[in-house]
């Protein structure tokens, strides 16, 4: 496997995986900055900046940017997350120099024209409103807010309409100056790419990239709680979350095995129990989203209002069963096979591979071989999985996020009774453990 890593004089790291059987190259710039790095007053600025990178530079108009990449049959896009922003392209192998130059131009030289800012502000507000029409997005955004309240990781990546409406050109420039620095960025490529040539192009294109120290962000602090987003969706949407673990924690592989067993596929416990046996939901699954130092582990289902409490009880019982009884050897072997195949399949896509090695350098500062990853997966034991589940269930309050069912319903009145205070996850039931009054958001409806 031809994977190479270099560092330019300004501190920018360049990593590539040569895949000679391909005729294309996937490459991108990954910045270790997302909405985790935002102050409350600039909520959404990272995502706004990502949009504005395509709206013109000192050398190219907005049309020039898309025309240049598309006239060679390439594609250019970007994405903002909680802890990173990525600008990436896919091109034919002879067009590597153009793609590197374009990527460097949009991340170093955006002009932030006031008229473009005003137009794009409207586009982003439309994007935010579109998310509010998606019940799955709504219930997960609420879960994130409940799990990490009054913190950047608990706020939506896109921001809120009120904050996006107040973001200024100075805010965009200030955020960019703080975090778009060479040591905080990685140029990654996978496909039919020559590493030395990539470094030569990058050294010229990224020569003006800022250098210097980037401030360390405060660790996220999990809290948990109960909340209801009273959008008028036809179904009830439920997320039950627990504090997870960070992706730098070696137990991340045990978490992945538990996740695959609990709700990671059609043979998983949740799918079989809630969809196949009872027909309670079309969508039901588990998840584990990680940051460097912590994460959120949980389960999700969308179900009929009249049977939502029944479905939720079953979800909690499956979590409790993992705590009390553990996971069978058959389930662990099946989960490991799924994870091994996922690692192998990552080598089939140049785009997935470019992102994988970029994140390894950005967050681990080293490359991890697939052989190492598979060995870590294979080393997971049933005892480790059960111990991890019990630890996650015992720490802090659960996160209970509810959405839909046309606002208030009798089902939500039941939820408020079951979930006021702290639900005892480990008991396998929803018995109240506190005389605390129901959450105002749930009890009051909307």
Of residues 229 and 301, more confidently modeled: 301
Read off the pLDDT band of 307 (50, 70, 90).
confident
In this predicted structure, the answer to whether residue 223 has a pLDDT above a threshold of 50 is: yes
Percent of the chain predicted with pLDDT > 70 = 90
Asked whether residue 231 falls in the same domain as residue 113, the answer is no
User: Mean pLDDT for the chain?
Assistant: 89
Q: Give the tens place of pLDDT for each residue, 382-400.
A: 999 999 999 998 887 899 9
In this prediction, residue 308 has a pLDDT band, given cuts at 50, 70 and 90, of confident
Q: What's the pLDDT score for residue 328?
A: 94
53 and 185 share a domain? yes
What range defines the domain where residue 96 resides? Answer: 2-205
- Identify the pLDDT of residue 406: 52
Confidence at 420, pLDDT banded by 50, 70, 90: very low
Contacts of 367 (CB under 8 A, 6+ apart): 3, 5, 15, 357, 360, 361
Do 142 and 229 reside in the same domain of the chain? no
Question: Residue 430 pLDDT more than 80?
Answer: no
C-alpha pair distances (Å), 193 with each of 27, 199, 247, 263, 343: 9, 11, 29, 38, 21
Residue that finishes a domain, picked among 205, 233, 257: 205
pLDDT at residue 276 greater than cutoff 70 = yes
The percent of residues in the chain predicted with pLDDT above 90, rounded, is 78
- Let me know: does 423 contact 433? Beta carbons within 8 Å: yes
Judge whether residue 407 has pLDDT over 50. no
pLDDT of residue 19: 96
Domain of 284: which CATH number?
3.30.830.10
Mean pLDDT of 133-145: 94
Domains: count for the chain: 2
- 439 has pLDDT over 50: no
219 within domain boundaries: no
* Separation of alpha carbons 33 and 82, rounded Å: 8
Burial 353-363 (b: 16+ CB within 10 A, else e): bbbbbbbbbbb
Statement to judge: residues 172 and 268 lie in one domain: no
Per the structure block, which two tokens stand in for 391?
A: 């630890």
In a domain, 110, yes or no: yes
220 lies in a domain?
no
pTM: 0.89
Residue 410: which pLDDT band, with cuts at 50, 70 and 90? Answer: very low
Is 36 part of any domain?
Answer: yes
pLDDT value of residue 378: 97
Shared domain for 231 and 199, answered yes or no, is no
* pLDDT (tens digit per residue) in 207-219: 999 998 898 888 9
Which pLDDT belongs to residue 79? 97
What is the pLDDT, as a whole number, of residue 228?
85
Annotated catalytic residue, options 38, 42, 50, 355: 50
pLDDT band per the 50, 70, 90 thresholds, residue 405: low
Residue 114 has pLDDT above 90, yes or no: yes
Q: At which residue do the structure tokens 């009929």 appear?
A: 304
Tell me what pLDDT residue 206 has: 98
Assess whether 104 and 199 both reside in one domain.
yes
Q: Of 174, 205, 236, which closes a domain? A: 205
Q: Where a domain ends, among 205, 235, 268?
A: 205
Alpha-carbon distances of 346 from 190, 213, 327, 422, rounded to whole Å: 11, 33, 27, 40
Q: How confident is the model at residue 129 (pLDDT cuts 50, 70, 90)?
A: very high
Pairing state of beta strands 399-404 and 225-229? parallel
Name the residue among 347, 345, 326 with its Cα closest to residue 337.
345
Same domain, 54 and 109: yes
Same domain flag for 177 and 286: no
* Residue 213 located in a structural domain: no
Whole-number pLDDT of residue 37: 94
pLDDT at 1: 57
Domain shared by 14 and 90, yes or no: yes
Residue 211 lies in a domain: no
**Residue 274: what pLDDT?**
96
The residues, any chain, with a CB within 8 Å of residue 99's CB and separated by 6 or more, are 25, 27, 69, 74, 76, 89, 91
Q: What's the confidence (pLDDT) of residue 312? A: 87
In three-state secondary structure terms, 433 is coil
Decide if 196 is inside a domain.
yes
Query: Does the annotation mark 50 as catalytic?
Result: yes
Residue 67 has pLDDT above 90, yes or no: yes
263 and 178 fall within a common domain: no
Mean pLDDT across 268-275:
96
Residue 284 lies in a domain: yes
Same domain, 230 and 200: no
Q: Which of 282-286, 356-360, 439-443 has the lowest mean pLDDT?
A: 439-443
Number of H helices, E strands in the chain: 17, 11
Of the pLDDT bands very low, low, confident and very high (cuts 50, 70, 90), residue 443 is: very low
- Domain co-membership, 241 together with 283: yes
Q: pLDDT tens digit string along 70-82?
A: 999 999 999 999 9
């Amino acid at each position: 496997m031809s994977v190479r890593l270099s560092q330019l004089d300004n501190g920018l790291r360049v990593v590539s995986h040569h895949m000679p059987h391909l005729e294309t190259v996937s490459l991108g710039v990954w910045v270790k900055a997302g909405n985790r790095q935002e102050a409350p007053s600039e909520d959404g600025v990272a995502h706004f900046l990502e949009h504005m990178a395509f709206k013109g530079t000192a050398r190219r108009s907005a049309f020039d940017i898309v025309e240049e990449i598309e006239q060679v049959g390439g594609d250019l896009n970007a994405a903002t997350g909680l802890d990173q922003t990525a600008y990436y392209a896919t091109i034919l192998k002879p067009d590597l120099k153009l793609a590197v130059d374009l990527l460097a131009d949009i991340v170093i030289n955006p002009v932030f024209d006031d008229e473009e800012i005003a137009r794009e502000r409207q586009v982003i507000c439309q994007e935010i409103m579109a998310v509010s029409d998606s019940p799955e997005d709504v219930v997960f955004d609420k879960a994130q807010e409940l799990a990490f309240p009054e913190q950047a990781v608990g706020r939506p990546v896109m921001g809120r309409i009120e904050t996006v409406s107040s973001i200024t050109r100075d805010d965009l420039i200030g955020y960019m100056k703080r975090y778009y620095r060479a040591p905080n960025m990685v140029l990654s490529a996978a496909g039919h790419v020559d590493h030395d040539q990539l470094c030569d192009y990058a050294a010229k294109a990224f020569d003006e990239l800022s250098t210097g120290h980037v401030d360390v962000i405060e660790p996220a602090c999990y809290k948990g709680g109960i909340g209801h987003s009273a959008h008028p969706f036809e179904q009830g949407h439920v997320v039950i979350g627990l504090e997870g673990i960070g992706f730098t924690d070696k137990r991340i592989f045990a978490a992945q095995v538990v996740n695959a067993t609990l709700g990671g596929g059609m043979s998983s416990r949740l799918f079989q129990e809630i969809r196949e046996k009872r027909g309670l939901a079309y969508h039901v699954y588990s998840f584990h989203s990680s940051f460097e130092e912590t994460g959120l582990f949980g389960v999700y289902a969308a179900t009929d209002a009249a049977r939502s409490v029944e479905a939720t009880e079953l979800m909690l019982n499956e979590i409790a069963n993992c705590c009390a009884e553990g996971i069978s050897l058959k389930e662990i072997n099946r989960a490991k096979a799924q994870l091994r195949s996922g690692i192998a399949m990552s080598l089939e896509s140049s785009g997935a591979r470019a992102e994988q090695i970029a994140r390894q350098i950005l967050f681990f500062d080293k490359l991890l071989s697939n052989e190492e990853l598979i060995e870590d997966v294979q080393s997971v034991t049933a005892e480790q999985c059960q111990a991890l589940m019990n630890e996650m269930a015992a720490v802090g309050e659960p996160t209970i996020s509810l959405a839909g069912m046309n606002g208030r319903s009798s089902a939500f009145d039941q939820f408020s009774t079951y979930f006021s205070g702290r639900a005892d996850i480990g008991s396998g039931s929803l018995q109240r453990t506190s005389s605390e009054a129901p959450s105002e958001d749930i009890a009051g409806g909307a």
